[in-house]
Amino acid sequence: MYPRACDFQVVRKDDNAGLGVLSHRHFYAGELLAIMHGKIVTEIRQHTLQIEPGKHMLDKYFAGYFLHSCEPNISLDMLSNTVTSLKEIKPGQFLYMDYAQTESVLFKQFFCGCDSTKCRGWITGKDESPVALLAAPDVDATKIG
Ligand SMILES: [Zn+2]
C-alpha cells in the first residue's frame, strides 16, 4: 500500500544534491507517509539507512533517496519502518530527513547548504566527529557545530 508509485517519485533535484524523493501528494504534519521496505545489509552503503549498528536497510527505490536537511520535513522510525511528516508537505516538494536521526556514521560526510537557520554546516553521523575536515581545510569552520 505504501509508498504508492503515484504519490512519490525519485527525481534529480540538482547537480549538487543529486536524486531526491518528490512528493506528489499533500500531507499534514504528523501524517504517515509510507512504510519503508528494503534489503537488510550488515555494512553501510551510499543508500542505506541504519536500523542499528551493523544493521542497515537498503532501499534503492524510495527511502534510500531521501535528501538531508537540518530542518527536515519527515521523521523516520527505523523500528516500525514508518515515515511521518514533521510539517505540512505540499505536492512538488522534496522529502527531507536529518541523516543524523538514523546514522551513527555517514557513508560520506558533507557540507550542507539547506539554508535553514538551524543548519549545522558540516554534516556527520550522530556518533562521529567531523574527521573529513582534516582533508578539507577550505571548509568554513565557523559553521561547524
Ligand atoms: Zn543544513
The CATH superfamily of 8-105 is SET domain (2.170.270.10)
Helix, strand, or coil here: 62?
coil
113 alpha carbon to ligand 1 midpoint, in Å?
5
Classify 19 as helix, strand or coil.
Answer: strand
**Mean pLDDT rounded to a whole number for the chain:** 90
Residues 61 and 9 sit within 8 Å (Cβ to Cβ): no
119 CA to middle of ligand 1, Å? 4
* Cα 118 to averaged position of ligand 1 atoms, centre (Å): 7
The domain segmentation of the chain, as residue ranges, is 8-105
Kindly give the distance from the C-alpha atom of residue 139 to the centroid of ligand 1, in angstroms, as a whole number. Answer: 14
Among 24, 124, 140, 10, residue whose Cα is nearest residue 67: 10
Identify which of 145, 126, 144 has the alpha carbon closest to the alpha carbon of residue 136.
144
Residue 16 — very low, low, confident or very high, per pLDDT cuts 50/70/90?
A: confident
CA–centroid distance, residue 11 to ligand 1 (Å): 20
Q: pLDDT for 86-115, tens place per residue? A: 999 999 999 999 999 999 999 999 999 999
Give the Å distances, CA to CA, from 27 to 10, 21, 107.
18, 14, 30
